[in-house]
Amino acid sequence: MTSLHLNDDQFTRYLMDPDADGAEAAHLLGCTVCREELERFRSSVGSFNSMTLAWSERHSITSPSYAASRGSAEWASGWSWSVAVLMLLAVGTSLHLRIEANQVNPGIQASDSYDQNSEAEIARDNQLMRAVNLEINRKEPFPLMADNVPSQKYRQGVKKRLEVRSE
């Protein structure tokens, strides 16, 4: 019965060019065994093709040139969506914060905004700034420098030290 099936040579020739008219195609129409063999081969190659195509698609997406090309194609829609979402988030957050603050202490909010611009507050700020400037500009003598110590105290100190040594 085996001799009735396609041999390797015939099978390979059929795979090379199935469109070519030949006895192989006619045989395959009526022979289940040979058709199954053909399907097995096609299934193996099909699995290889889908696996390798998925692999190369993944690599194409991760490659910079492909990403750039995709990016430029979808640039407008992507950016517009992200900007719109960001704006919505910003507006929503600020509104939420404002409402929350008003609910907690509305009186303080109002008086604060009023006091910050009053003349008394400005005068107090100026006074504070002057005090800070004064502190910054004050010349502090360096404690270890002999020139900065008053001469009388320095002499007294030296005397004491000499006395201690002589004892």
Closest CA to 32 of 7, 13, 5: 5
> What does the alpha-carbon distance between residue 8 and residue 60 come to, in Å, rounded to a whole number?
38
- The residue type found at 148 is N
Would you count residue 15 as binding other proteins (CB under 8 A)? yes
The stretch among 63-71, 101-109, 134-142, 152-160 that binds other proteins (CB under 8 A) is 63-71
* x/- letters, 33..62, toward other proteins (CB under 8 A): ----x--xx-xxx-xxxxxxxxxxxxxx--
Would you count residue 158 as binding other proteins (CB under 8 A)? no
**Shortest Cβ 78–other proteins spacing (Å):** 14
Work out which of 8, 21, 140, 147 binds other proteins, going by CB under 8 A: 8
92: Cα within 13 Å, side-chain hemisphere: 6
> How many residues would you count in the chain?
167
Is residue 5 within 8 Å of residue 33, measured between CB atoms? yes
Residues that bind other proteins (CB under 8 A): 2, 7-8, 11-13, 15-17, 19, 37, 40-41, 43-45, 47-60, 63, 65-66, 69-70, 72-73
